[in-house]
Amino acid sequence: MRLILTALLTLLLAACATQGTQTSGNAAGANATANSQFEVDPSLRKATADQTIDLDHNSVDALAKGQGDLWGRIRNGFQLTDLDGDLVQTQLNWYTSRPDYVQRMTERSQKYLYHIVESLEQRHMPTELALLPFIESAYNPQALSVAKAAGMWQFVPTTGRDYNLKQNLFQDQRRDVLASTNAALDYLSRLHDMFGDWYLALAAYNWGEGNVQRAIARNQAAGLPTDYMSLKLPAETRNYVPKLQAVKDIIANPQMYGLTLPKVPNRPYFVSVKTSHDIDVDVAAQLAELPLDEFKALNPSFRKPLIVGSSESPILLPFDNAQTFERNLRAHDGPLSSWTTYTVTTRETPAALAQRIGVDADTLVSINKIPAGMRLKSGSTLLVPKTGDNVDDISADVVENAVLSIEPDLPDTRKVLVRVRKRETIAQLALRYNVSIGQIQSWNKTRRTSFTPGQTVFLHLPVDKAVPVEPAAPRLLQAVAEPRATGGRVERLGTVHVDAPTGSGGIIKVSDQIDNRAPVRGGGKKGATQSASQGATQRTTRGGKAVGIARNTAPAAAYTPSARSTTVAAHSVERASSKTASKAALPRTVAVQAPSEAAAKHLAAKAGAKAAAPAVARVATPAKGGKNPVKAATDAHGKPVASAEKSRKKQDS
């Protein structure tokens, strides 16, 4: 009996052990199946977009297809600490209230997510960074911001060049899926190494590393924490990481927020291929049997309707269309490209160039994106249709150095410096030179609507158009005192603007031309009156020496005997003697006095005299302090009046 019970117990224990082993095996098998869902077939890793397949020598037949869902693979790679707070909740509310926007954004990301996740895993970087293009551009490779940032990762031109993203006439790699992703991950890795924190690295990616460093330095100086949430940041950067956290929460559990994510296969969406021949974009799409919009979405970096083979730019094609493209490319026997380049040697309009080289003007303008009203500068490179005798592909040198330089199609101008007149407004100045007020402000880099009288202003006026005559600046008479042997002269070098005389005497206005070669003759009252009526030179004489003044022929400026000591200020020039021509006198300002009525009668009484005393002049010398001049009496030759009086007495004796 005891033996029977022992045998039954042994059988029962054996049965339990067998059932436990089977249960453990089933659990292990289930775990293995779950893990294999997110594993990538080793053969599939050969299909990463970084390894471009050269269709001239290889094939895409060996590439395999993966299994599983890419969203689960992304969730398994989350590494960043979750951020919580009101900012995150605000962004969550924004996304969840716009399910259509989230749907479009996630569907657009299907083309590029696998490549980005694969690149992040190879670099051991958090897969949260694969969600960053949702924040930057909504996964639109054609996105362009107001700051000229372009592509999925929103590189500005300068940062793009820093990370070797080509930007030439034919291609902008800031929009290239492969090149821009590689540059963005390089940039983020460098920022993480710089700050040691992914949140600070993300803030620097949005705001710039220099700004973040200065914000950290300010907090350190104030004894404050230097983490992301403690820094003083602009509003966009302050919400940058909360936006990423909100997208992360939605991807982690979309059902919680009432959203549905599209299924994204855990395999490459596209294959990167290349060919050494130029090929038109529409021809490539036809060979791949792919809609043109779909082709451009995968290859957004090409700026022209031509893919230049010499640049070795990869062509991205959907995985299912790669074999079709390869097969059709090998069977194609016609021309692959219909475009070539033309370099302009002189300035000319697109219409004139199109007529000269025999192409359609509208095609030339649209293909090269030339704005209306612009003309081409010398050295510009244009894309033009190929002719029958030009079948060569575009060289790499042309691709690297091609530029398109344009300028407004306006007449050639010259830079002119003008002076603003008294009481002249900017509108009057613009009207006088037939330009606009805005042009004057732009040329002079100002927003002012008025100028100071006498201020100089820059204008750009047509070369072949005469410039309006600018009124001459006031210039005074220049009196030359010569030795007695040659007699005195009055030379006029410019226009003199002086006030007109008053009723009892005043200032004579001098504005007519004077012959500086004619000597001044002596004369009395008759000669003076005749000269005054004819607009000639007024003369006073004593002893055969003369000092003259020039005046206008206008009646208001005419000299009358009742005028009192009419004065004309004149700039003196160098006094030179016929005997000592090499010796020049110092310049000085002379005030010449015209005869009064009494003096005129006195001169008429002595008209027959052989000699007369020279007229008295006064030299304006600066007073102490340099304010008002003190007039010292001199004769017409500049000698002190005392010496002139002695000379007269000596002659009378």
Contact criterion met (CB below 8 Å) for 316 and 362: no
- What is the DSSP secondary-structure string of 465-491? SPPPPPPPPP--BEEE---TTT--EEE
Instruction: Tell me the average pLDDT across 562-585.
Output: 40
Q: In sequence order, what DSSP letters do the residues of 394-448 get, joined into one string?
A: PPHHHHHH----EEE----EEEEEEEPPTT--HHHHHHHTT--HHHHHHHTT---
**Whether residue 137 has pLDDT greater than 60:** yes
Q: What percent of the chain has pLDDT over 90?
A: 52
Pick the CATH number of 339-408 from 3.10.350, 3.30.960, 3.40.50, 3.30.70: 3.10.350
Quote the pLDDT of residue 469: 65
What percent of the chain lies above the pLDDT cut of 70? 61
Using the predicted structure, report yes or no on whether residue 462 has a pLDDT greater than 60.
Answer: yes
Check if the beta carbon of residue 269 is closer than 8 Å to that of residue 316.
no
| pLDDT value at 531 more than 60 | no
Band of residue 543 on the pLDDT scale cut at 50, 70, 90 = very low
What's the distance, Cα to Cα, between the start and end of the chain in Å? 187
Give the torsion sign (CA, 522, 524, 527, 531): positive
Q: Which residue has better confidence, 263 or 38? A: 263
Residues of the chain by 3-state class (helix, strand, coil), percent to 5: 40, 15, 45
**pLDDT class for 14, splitting at 50, 70, 90?**
low
The pLDDT of residue 98 is above 70: yes
Please list the residue range(s) of the chain that carry CATH number 1.10.530: 68-257
Give mean pLDDT, residues 129-144. Answer: 97
Looking at domain 413-462, what is its CATH homologous superfamily?
Answer: LysM domain (3.10.350.10)
Average pLDDT, the chain: 75
Tokens representing residue 629 in the block: 């001049």
Report pLDDT for 549: 41
Q: What is the mean pLDDT of residues 600-615?
A: 54
CATH class of 68-257: mainly alpha
The pLDDT of residue 232: 96
**DSSP string covering 160-202:** HHHTT--BSSSBBTTS-HHHHHHHHHHHHHHHHHHHS-HHHHH
Q: Among 366, 371, 380, which Cα is nearest to 305's? A: 366
pLDDT (0 to 100) of residue 68: 75
What the block records as the tokens of 17 is 């052990």
- Residue type at 59? S
Please give the average per-residue pLDDT across 465-492, as a whole number.
Answer: 50
- The pLDDT assigned to 553 comes to 40
CA distances from 563 to 25, 591, 596, 600 (A): 133, 16, 6, 11
Under the banding of pLDDT at 50, 70 and 90, the label for residue 583 is: very low
Contact in structure between 64 and 338 (CB atoms under 8 Å): no
**Which ranges in the chain are annotated with CATH 3.10.350.10?**
413-462
Q: Are 203 and 212 in contact (CB under 8 A)?
A: yes
Question: Which whole-number Å values give the CA distances from 507 to 112, 536, 549, in the listed order?
Answer: 90, 16, 11
Beta bridge mates, 339: 385
- Average pLDDT, stretch 478-497? 42
Q: In this model, does residue 330 exceed pLDDT 80?
A: yes
Confidence class of residue 449 from pLDDT cuts 50, 70 and 90? Answer: confident
Dist. CA 113–CA 72, nearest whole Å: 12
Q: Say what the pLDDT of residue 124 is.
A: 97
Write down the pLDDT at residue 597. Answer: 60
Instruction: Give 52's contacts (C-beta < 8 A, 6+ positions apart).
Output: 272, 273, 274, 314
Global pTM value: 0.62
- pLDDT at residue number 51: 57
pLDDT of res. 391: 79
Sort strands 270-274 and 53-54 into parallel, antiparallel or unpaired: parallel
CA 448 vs. chain centroid, Å, equals 22
